[in-house]
Amino acid sequence: MSENILRGIYMSSSTMKKTGVINIFIDVIESLGNKLPHPFWLFVFLCVITLVASSVFSHFGVSVEYMSAQATGAAMTTVKVENLLSYPEMRNFLSNLVKTYITFPPLGLVLVMMMGVGLIEQTGLLSSLIRKMILQAPPYVVTAVLMFIGINSSIASDAGILFTPTIGAAVFKALGRNPWLGVIAGYAAASGGLSASLFISGSDVVLAGITESAAKSMNIAGSTSPVINWYFMSAMTLILTVVLTFVTEKVLAKLVDDTKIEMKEHEKSQYELTQDEKKGLFYSGIAVVIVIIVLLFLSLPQNSFFRNDNGHFLPKSPLMSSVLPIIFSIFFITGTAYGVGAKVIKKLEDIPKLMQKELLGMTSIFVTMFPASMFVYLFGRSKLATIVAVKGADRIKDLDIGAIPLLILLILLCTALNLLMGSSSAKWLILAPIFIPMFSMVGFSPALTQAAYRIGDGSTNIISPIAGAVPVILGLLEQYKPDNYDKKIGVGTMISLELPFTITLLVVQTIAIIIWFTFNIPLGPGAGVFC
């Protein structure tokens, strides 16, 4: 099947008529956002601002003192701004510059992921599978599956955040739809839906550990296990799958002017699988079964390869730390099996050549990641994010308002802080000792406080210009840009397209937590709303 047959017909959003208040607002956001310099220079300027700000605030001795959650219990911690322009800091920065770049987590993740995706896309496995199983299905079904996978991809940590938009773009492209739908919606589900999942991940364990430390130090009653939010998270998985699918099909599809192909009966024959493609799918099916058997053999027995020294998977284990290599292995093995069966791969040299093709359009990502990695390093070293987080939390603490408004303010605070400080656990280390005791005084359980934090933390991940995945998302948008798209692709593009998802995530989950609070619905096993 030629790529021309599979390629959908979609128009540039620059030619689309946008009306209504919401569309005008989004246009303004996109316009203002894209007036920002190229992401490369944006991160360069942010680096310069961070360096100067750290020097100024350090000179004036700016610092904060807060109760920090630690393994042995909460302890008073003092943090002051570090002068990054000092000789020691600059020497350290320059001597570790190359290391900072090459160890930047998204860099390796996207390289490995794109090689795997490239193989299943270039061999034709992805397009054949879609035509075989879901090409004739309603578009919302495919979208719903992508949303569900993305929401639950938190079990794969950062790998899931990058995997979902990457595979989403490839799937939508193969379906003849605008690949931007897969990029934007996939990122929204994976990075924005962190407060929802059917599975307990390593992040649940980490956050619960911080919550437990903060609660025990103040003798606050209530369950603090990793599953204290599981009921709420499971319910939100189903709710967000439906809601995000609706936003994708009814809002985002219009914003990017997604034009779907309506095939006539005589045209459907063009999409029938050839004998070679059927053979390729058969070979890949056998490969999948073998891979699953091997994974089960390496995971299920006690003291097996993928279990930790205690025989468990959480909080840390070889399985949790090997999610990306496992995904790559599945793509590599199944893609190779399909290619051999479909006669796309005829010799060993064909495999690396097919993997290379997908990486050719990714050079912009690697360039932008260089200053992005520098900024993340400098901002963390400066301690500016910690100062902002503590000061903001203290201001809210001083307010004397009702329970539900206080809950909403916590969510909004975390939403704002998330634009400056990416790490979920780092923010919770600061906020947990402040808010868990404060909320307990009005009867809120640690589980409720943690759930509220996770809602605010996740909602703005997808519009944060400093998120580690931003260069990847912009690179994917550039890679899959329609031929007739003549507008600049920048941070404003990403923010304007993700904004409907951010608003939806924030509103829907805030309403949900208020309902849980009002009707005293358990948030997880043994974890109620009240202390």
Question: Quick one: three-class SS letters along 67-110?
Answer: EECCCCCCEEEEEECCCCCCHHHHHHHHHCHHHHHHCCHHHHHH
Residues with Cβ within 8 Å of residue 515, at least 6 apart in sequence: 521
Question: Where are the chain's structural domains?
Answer: 3-518
Whose structure tokens read 């996939």?
186
CA atoms within 13 A on the CB side of 225: 13
SS3 59: helix
Residue 385 CA from chain centroid, whole number: 20
Spatial CA neighbour of 104 closest among 316, 374, 322, 363: 374
* 422/370 Cα distance (integer angstroms): 18
Helix (H) or strand (E) holding 65: strand 63-68
* 164/149 Cα distance (integer angstroms): 7
Phi and psi at 232, nearest 5°, equal -65, -45
* 342/160 Cα distance (integer angstroms): 29
Concatenated DSSP letters for 248-293? IIIIIHHHTT-------HHHHGGGSPPHHHHHHHHHHHHHHHHHHH
CA atoms within 13 A on the CB side of 476: 32
Encode the chain (531 residues) as per-residue pLDDT tens digits. 333 333 332 333 333 344 456 566 666 766 666 676 777 887 899 899 999 999 999 999 999 887 766 656 667 888 899 999 999 999 999 999 999 999 877 788 778 877 888 898 889 897 788 677 655 677 788 899 999 989 988 776 677 788 889 888 888 887 888 999 999 999 999 998 888 999 887 778 778 878 887 787 667 778 778 889 999 999 999 999 999 999 999 999 988 887 654 544 544 555 578 899 999 999 999 999 999 999 999 999 988 999 998 888 866 788 877 877 888 899 899 999 999 999 999 999 999 999 888 777 677 778 888 988 898 789 878 988 778 767 766 776 677 777 889 889 889 988 988 877 766 776 787 778 777 877 776 778 999 999 999 999 999 989 988 787 888 899 899 988 887 777 788 888 899 999 999 999 999 999 999 999 999 999 998 899 987
Q: Retrieve residue 216's tokens.
A: 């025990």
* 132/446 Cα distance (integer angstroms): 48
